[in-house]
């Protein structure tokens, strides 16, 4: 897991370096600039003709930009620097670097340092191959003010490779949101990763995220407390359930799926078939009588049982007693995909959770809808809502939730003592202890019917095998999205279906096992 930090924590490292280590801020800025230059060389195909545009703000982020411009100059690149502030407004280390650049650039006739006056001044950057955003960094507060907002919009409209220093200007680096944000292709973030680079929409603005350095290493950060982590491929690997040599089908994880209704039989089939492909030894799918024949003709290896639905085609409260025996039998019960939203189904779901409170449930889709007014029986379960379902569950408008879902989700998981998998881009996993795990895999092709049912299948399968909620959620989410990434390589983000995703789950598991097993054997 890679820890993520708040902007306040990252700023405290700068203060620590200056106050406790006695390193002058100017040294930190020089280190930062040199490391950004190194990352640019590593990540961009540069030639002697590459022209850089550097746009610098009035704080230390701007200072990093001036220092970087100096390194670009002395390494032979043409640089056009637009200073949004000059020596009347600049101060401290940023001012020192501005002056040094102003003095040095006179010796490089092809390069220019321009004081920004009007938006049109930025037109000169149309000739730049690379645009560097050193406008705002961790000192940024709230939505962008003018003229910064228009400047960022203008820069976004120019066709060049875009590099953000520390973070893209306009992005709230704690929440990952922002109204107008610099659209970077590469973000060189200083020292450690910050939450907002990956939360919310952060990752859509950052491009590739790499680390630069102010020259104090990671030890200081290792002592800082954080509750937020990026999931790494190794985490997916170590959390795949172990298969002991003496397993038989019932000790290899028993999943009961309560899913499907007359109008939505497909969701149930997808989830059940996926559960088998993710390693569960026995999977039973419980569906209403009315659809059991249809489901049996379409399903592969999962066993189908049916309950009396009095011809209604959906789960009713009356039917719940018929499921009791199988609920006791199962290690994990997945409930929700395709159940429908009839009042009777809602009562049945609540009834099942209430009677079996404490059993391991994976609660998805219509079962989440059912719980809007009845959240007291979620202990020990994993809920897998998308943003809309979660908004409905906690009774707030999606638009309000979107602004920053993190605090709501943290509170929900802690209060209800459950794991919450908030599906989205990226998917975030919340545990009852208040920690957040950010998934790093996946693509837009997953926004399609049925992909959520596949996730329910993987997580419930892992949970039945391992009994470990957190491990199952982390590994399940990662591998589900990795399967989508493998499919995107083969079929593009347009071309794969939920069925393909289900079929690809074993290959994603294999990919991760093959990647890490040799290391373990060494
Ligand atoms: N020594 C160090 O601390 C090092 C810092 N590094 C780099 O510095 C930045 C952080 O620098 P800081 O000066 O604290 O802040 P910024 O450069 O990000 O920006 C400050 C100015 O931004 C203005 N501001 C703030 N919010 C907005 C907004 N919404 N719209 C427009 N302008 C905004 C603010 O103006 P005020 O008038 O509000 O005061 C400030 O002037 C860090 O990110 C690193 O890049 C180096 O890494 C080296 C060590
Ligand atoms: K920036």
CATH of the domain at 499: 3.40.1190.20
User: Based on the domain organization, do 353 and 396 belong to the same domain?
Assistant: yes
Is residue 331 domain-shared with residue 467, that is, in the same domain? yes
In this prediction, residues 4-19 reach a mean pLDDT of 91
Handedness of CA 423, 429, 432, 434 (dihedral sign): negative
Retrieve residue 243's tokens: 């298969």
- Extract the tokens encoding 11: 């700023």
137 Cα: distance to centroid of ligand 2 (angstroms): 5
CA of 341 to the centre of ligand 2 (A): 47
Final residue of a domain: which of 203, 225, 247? 225
Q: Which residues pair with 53 in a beta bridge?
A: 80, 131
What is the predicted pLDDT for the residue at 300? 85
- Out of 9-13, 183-187, 410-414, 415-419, which region has the weakest mean confidence (pLDDT)? 9-13
**Is the C-alpha dihedral spanning 55, 58, 59, 64 positive or negative?**
positive
Residue 115 forms part of a structural domain: yes
**Both 38 and 134 in a single domain?**
yes
pLDDT at residue 344, as a whole number: 96
> What separation in angstroms does the CA of 358 have from each of 187, 238, 480?
44, 26, 26
Q: Where are the beta strands (DSSP E) in 353-441?
A: 361-363, 382-383, 419-422, 428-430, 436-438
**Average pLDDT over every residue of 20-48:** 95
Distance (Å, rounded) from C-alpha 107 to C-alpha 131? 22
Alpha-helical runs (H) found in 377-496: 387-394, 398-403, 405-416, 451-466, 469-495
- Banded pLDDT at 521 (limits 50, 70, 90): low
pLDDT at 517: 85
Ligand with an atom nearest the CA of residue 62: 1
Q: How far away, in angstroms, is 375 Cα from ligand 2 center?
A: 42
Lowest mean pLDDT among 246-255, 350-359, 393-402: 246-255
User: Is the model's pLDDT at 87 over the cut of 90?
Assistant: no
Q: Does residue 438 register a pLDDT over 60?
A: yes
Among residues 225, 246, 263, the one where a domain terminates is: 225
Confidence of residue 49 (pLDDT cuts 50, 70, 90): very high
Q: What is the spatial distance between Cα 513 and Cα 505, in angstroms, rounded to a whole number?
A: 12
Nearest atom, ligand 1, residue 25 CA: 1
Going along 4-129, which residue ranges are E strands? 51-56, 78-83, 112-115
Q: Is 450 annotated as a binding residue?
A: no
- Nearest ligand to the CA atom of 64: 1
Q: How many domains does the chain have?
A: 2
142 is in an annotated binding site: yes
pLDDT tier, 201 (very low <50, low <70, confident <90, very high otherwise): confident
Residue 522 falls within a domain, yes or no? no
Domain CATH for 154: 3.40.50.10260
Q: Cα(60) to centroid of ligand 2, in Å?
A: 10
Whether residue 215 is contained in a domain is answered as yes
Residue 287 lies in a domain: yes
Query: What is the domain range of residue 39?
Result: 2-225
> What is this model's ipTM?
0.98
* Most confident listed range (15-29, 157-171, 189-203, 237-251): 157-171
- If asked whether residues 80 and 182 sit together in one domain, one would say yes
Co-location of 325 and 472 in the same domain? yes
Of the candidates 178, 208, 225, which is a domain's last residue?
225
Q: Binding site annotation covers 63?
A: yes
Residue 427 is labelled as binding a ligand: yes
Contact 212, 36 (CB under 8 A): yes
Report if residue 521 sits inside a domain.
Answer: no
pLDDT digits (tens, 9 = 90+) for 473-487: 999 999 999 999 999
Q: Are residues 175 and 241 in the same domain?
A: no
Do 122 and 243 share a structural domain? no
pLDDT of residue 305: 96
Task: Indicate the pLDDT class of residue 219, thresholds 50, 70 and 90.
Answer: confident
């Amino acid at each position: 897991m890679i820890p993520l930090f708040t902007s306040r924590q990252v700023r405290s490292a700068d203060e620590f370096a200056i106050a406790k280590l006695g390193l002058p801020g100017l040294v930190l800025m020089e280190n930062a600039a040199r490391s950004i230059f190194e990352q640019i060389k590593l990540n961009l195909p540069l030639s002697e003709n590459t022209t850089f545009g550097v746009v610098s703000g009035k704080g230390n982020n701007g200072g990093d930009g001036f220092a970087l411009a100096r390194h670009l100059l002395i390494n032979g690149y043409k640089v056009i620097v637009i200073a949004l502030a000059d020596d009347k407004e600049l101060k401290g280390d940023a001012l020192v670097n501005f002056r040094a650049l102003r003095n040095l650039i006179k010796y490089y006739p092809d390069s220019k340092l321009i004081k920004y006056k009007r938006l049109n001044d930025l037109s000169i950057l149309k000739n730049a191959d690379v645009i560097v955003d050193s406008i705002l960094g961790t000192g940024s507060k709230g939505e962008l003010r003018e003229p910064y907002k228009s400047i960022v919009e203008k820069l976004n409209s120019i066709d060049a490779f875009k590099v953000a220093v520390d973070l893209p200007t306009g992005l709230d680096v704690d929440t990952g949101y922002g109204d107008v944000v610099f659209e970077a292709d590469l973000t060189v973030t200083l020292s450690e990763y910050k939450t907002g680079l990956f939360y919310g929409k952060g990752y859509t603005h950052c491009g590739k995220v790499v680390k630069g350095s102010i020259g104090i290493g990671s030890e200081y950060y290792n002592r800082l407390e954080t509750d937020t982590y990026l999931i790494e491929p190794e985490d997916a690997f170590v959390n795949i359930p172990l298969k002991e040599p003496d397993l038989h089908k019932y000790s290899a994880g028993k999943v009961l799926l309560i899913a499907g209704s007359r109008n939505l039989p497909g969701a149930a089939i997808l989830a059940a078939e996926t559960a088998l492909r993710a390693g569960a030894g026995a999977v039973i799918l419980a569906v209403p009588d009315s659809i059991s024949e249809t489901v049996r003709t379409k399903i592969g290896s999962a066993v189908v049982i049916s309950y009396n639905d009095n011809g209604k085609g959906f789960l009713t409260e009356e039917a719940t007693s018929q499921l009791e025996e199988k609920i006791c039998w199962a290690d994990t019960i997945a409930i929700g995909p395709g159940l429908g939203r009839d009042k009777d189904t809602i009562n049945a779901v609540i009834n099942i959770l209430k009677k079996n409170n404490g059993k391991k449930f994976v609660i998805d889709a219509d079962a989440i809808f059912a719980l809007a007014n009845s959240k007291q029986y979620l202990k020990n379960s994993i809920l897998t809502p998308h943003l809309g379902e979660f908004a409905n569950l906690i009774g707030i408008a999606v638009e309000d939730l979107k602004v920053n879902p993190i605090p709501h989700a943290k509170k929900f998981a802690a209060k209800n003592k459950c794991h919450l998998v908030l599906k989205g881009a990226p998917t975030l996993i919340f545990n009852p202890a208040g920690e957040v795990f950010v998934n790093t895999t996946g693509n837009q092709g997953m926004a399609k019917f049925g992909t959520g049912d596949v996730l329910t299948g993987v997580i419930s399968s892992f949970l039945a095998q391992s009994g470990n909620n957190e491990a199952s959620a982390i590994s399940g989410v990662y591998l589900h999205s990795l399967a989508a990434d493998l499919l995107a390589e083969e079929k593009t983000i347009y071309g794969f279906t939920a069925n393909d995703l289900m079929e690809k789950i074993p290959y994603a598991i294999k990919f991760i096992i093959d990647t890490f097993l040799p290391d373990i054997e060494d």
